[in-house]
Amino acid sequence: MKYIDEFRNRELAQGLIKKIVERSTRPVKLMEVCGTHTVNIFRYGIKELLPETVTLLSGPGCPVCVTPNETIDKAIALSREKDVILVTFGDMMDVPGSSSSLAKEKSQGADIRVVYSVQDALKIATENPKKKTVFLAIGFETTSPTVAVSLIEAEELGLRNYFILQGHKLIPPAMKALVEDENLALDGFICPGHVSTIIGQRPYQFLATQYKLPCVISGFEPLDILQSIYMLINQIEQDRAEVKIQYKRSVKEEGNPLALQKLYRAFQVSDSNWRGLGLIPGSGLKLRNEFKNFDVEEKFPIEVGEVKENPDCICGSILKGIKTPLDCPLFRKVCRPENPIGPCMVSSEGSCAAYYKFRQ
């Protein structure tokens, strides 16, 4: 298939659903760990098309949602400094921190700029040599190589006013944490297509060998997702556990070696704190010693007050797949896209936003 319409073909979708219904003989819980999958599962009504034996759970696949308040509070504290230009992707603007948000700070005069690419942050630093440009580096393996490239370029240019506030996270260690959660008892993973384009197939192998969990790296169109579900159920019914690539038009077994080489030239693996999941060993990145000068936290102390979470928001449990937005008493009543209480309602890839938009 070549054109996008073909991946949304109704007859082919019906054929795949029929195959899933025929193949599925026992209850299974599958989790998607990519926000784009979550959104498209709701957009195309995929949950409603599946037999009762198949339960889909949404995991921590939205980088905005898994960023803890502590990181947001640090970004807010930095934005209040007179000589700082805080640069971010737009979806972080409305995420509530402990007592404010970047959008509120901007409305009160902070120099916060929204960009579409980290290269824009580099340009801002070059054009404003008297100010510190700090890029809020949030994202998974999909975006972190581009940030690494910006740091390599900044080093080559001798830029000394460009910094990052580090919030990158790695997906496979979070999947390990989820598998080890007894409350979930997952039967398989729909693995993220974008992340896997960078990291390839191998980093998921431990899930199949150690935990006997089938994994399928999936594309994002409805037929991709349905085919991936069928591939997972097929493995489960045969008591097999392998890592398979459904999204072959983008993902290679070895991933993208050049992107990985750039990524690990600037960064090394570290532990990281996730909203809802807590501290996960080896699930984050920190700058290598030779790039430490770009780490804003290394260079300047950042004072934040007490880190607070809204006690009524259950984003943490939703990100773990143990609750859904429908379990949240604030959903729709108080928390809506125009008045988000938690990050899962802010981000277009968040579960609460997907439920709000598509599950009427």
Buried b (16+ CB within 10 A) or exposed e, 226-263: bbbbbbbbbbbeeeebbbbbbbeeebeeebbeebbebb
Buried b (16+ CB within 10 A) or exposed e, 183-192: ebebbbbbbb
Smaller CB distance to ligand SF4: residue 280 or 314? 314
Residue 319 touches ligand SF4, criterion: CB under 6 A: no
Among 75, 259, 313, 319, binds ligand SF4 (CB under 6 A): 313
DSSP reduced 3-state for 158 = coil
Residue 345 touches ligand SF4, criterion: CB under 6 A: yes
Residue 354 touches ligand SF4, criterion: CB under 6 A: no
Instruction: Give, in order, the Cα–Cα distances in Å from 169 to each of 32, 63, 143, 279.
Output: 17, 8, 10, 11
CA distance 288 to 268: 6
Smaller CB distance to ligand SF4: residue 79 or 347? 347
Query: Site mask, ligand SF4, residues 258-297, x = CB under 6 A?
Result: ----------------------------------------
Among 318, 319, 349, 354, binds ligand SF4 (CB under 6 A): 318
Residue 331 touches ligand SF4, criterion: CB under 6 A: yes
Report the nearest approach of ligand SF4 to the CB of residue 244 (Å). Answer: 32
Smaller CB distance to ligand SF4: residue 222 or 342? 342
Report the nearest approach of ligand SF4 to the CB of residue 12 (Å). Answer: 34
> Which residue stretch of 66-74, 285-293, 296-304, 324-332 sits at the interface with ligand SF4 (rule: CB under 6 A)?
324-332
* Cα 91 from chain centroid (whole Å): 12
> Is residue 96 within a helix (H) or strand (E), and if so which, with residue range?
none
DSSP reduced 3-state for 175 = helix
| Closest C-alpha among 168, 102, 170, 94 to residue 137 | 168
Among 335, 347, 349, 354, binds ligand SF4 (CB under 6 A): 335
Which residue has its beta carbon closest to ligand SF4? 342
Is-contact 11 38, C-beta < 8 A? Answer: no
> Which residue stretch of 78-86, 211-219, 235-243, 310-318 sits at the interface with ligand SF4 (rule: CB under 6 A)?
310-318
Alpha helices in 29-68 (DSSP H): 35-43, 46-49, 63-66
DSSP state of 169: B
CA distance 148 to 151: 5
Smaller CB distance to ligand SF4: residue 289 or 360? 360
Among 54, 251, 314, 319, binds ligand SF4 (CB under 6 A): 314
Return the residue matching tokens 């704190």. 273
Residue 342 touches ligand SF4, criterion: CB under 6 A: yes
Residues found near ligand SF4 in the complex (CB under 6 A): 313-315, 318, 325, 328, 330-331, 335, 341-342, 344-345, 352
